[in-house]
Amino acid sequence: MKLKVIIALTLSTACSAFALKGGHSATTTAVGRTNNASANNQPPVAFVRPDRRSDSGVALRAAVAAAGDSNSNAMSARGGGGLGGLDIPLITYFGLWYLGNYYYNISNKLALKATGGAAGFPMTISALQLGIGSLYGIFLWLAPDARDKPKVTMDDIIKMLPVAFCYAGAHSASVFSFSAGSVSFGQIVKAAEPAFAAVLSQFVYKKKISKAKWLCLPIVIGGVIIASVNELDFAWAALISACLANCFAA
């Protein structure tokens, strides 16, 4: 009987010691992890139950994917991301615009020469060009999946009339300048458009122009004067009409 009691006490003591040892090691491990996380300036590890671990992993992957999509959308909207952050599409558009403007001036001059030059029909050609541009704009509004049709009121049309008149005047005066003189001379005079814009903004629209912009204007005007003096195909009609086009554009 005494032997059985001794054996039972021994077994209970061993089980208690094993339980205390396991609990102490688990507590030590948890405290050690917390201390290591604090030493590394990291948040303590959150123990997730097995049934919740998969859900949190899915949520984490979804958050990372959403962040990647937002970054890619931002880069695509900005247009950068290639060749050191240069906006390649925008640079391409500028190049195509200059190339199209070059060929437009040449074909415009050929059409003006074919109709008699300054004594021909420059205003007719200018009106036809504006009419074709208007028809193309209307086509883009009516064509499916091209552009949304604008919602314009009568007040909007009245407000746009001065802008439309100035645009038509600038285009027509430019065409007449090309018909009266050479294309190069017309482009040289039209290069002084920033000077016209600065003068009108300062004295007509009452918008103050900075000193840095005023100091840049003599360089532009001086280059126009030098190029105009050395131009062999100088014509007063071309000079006046180009200056008028600059006034309309400003």
| pLDDT (tens digit per residue) in 178-236 | 898 888 888 888 888 888 888 888 888 888 888 888 888 888 777 777 766 666 577 88
CB 175 within 8 A of CB 108: yes
Crossing angle of helices 183-190 and 88-114, rounded to 10°: 130
- In a 13 Å sphere around the CA of 105, the CA atoms on its Cβ side amount to 16
Residue whose pair of structure tokens reads 């039209």 in the numeric block: 190
Q: What is the CA radius of gyration of the chain?
A: 39
- Each residue's pLDDT tens digit, 40-63: 444 444 444 444 444 555 555 665
The closest alpha carbon to 233, from 180, 192, 170, belongs to 180
Amino acid at 59: A
What pTM was estimated for this model as a whole?
0.59
Q: What is the mean pLDDT of residues 122-126?
A: 92
pLDDT in tens, 151-167: 889 999 999 999 999 99
Give the pLDDT confidence score for residue 55 in this predicted structure: 52
Name residue 123's amino acid.
Answer: M
CB 140 within 8 A of CB 146: yes
**Each residue's pLDDT tens digit, 66-118:** 555 555 554 555 555 556 678 899 999 999 998 998 898 889 999 998 988 77
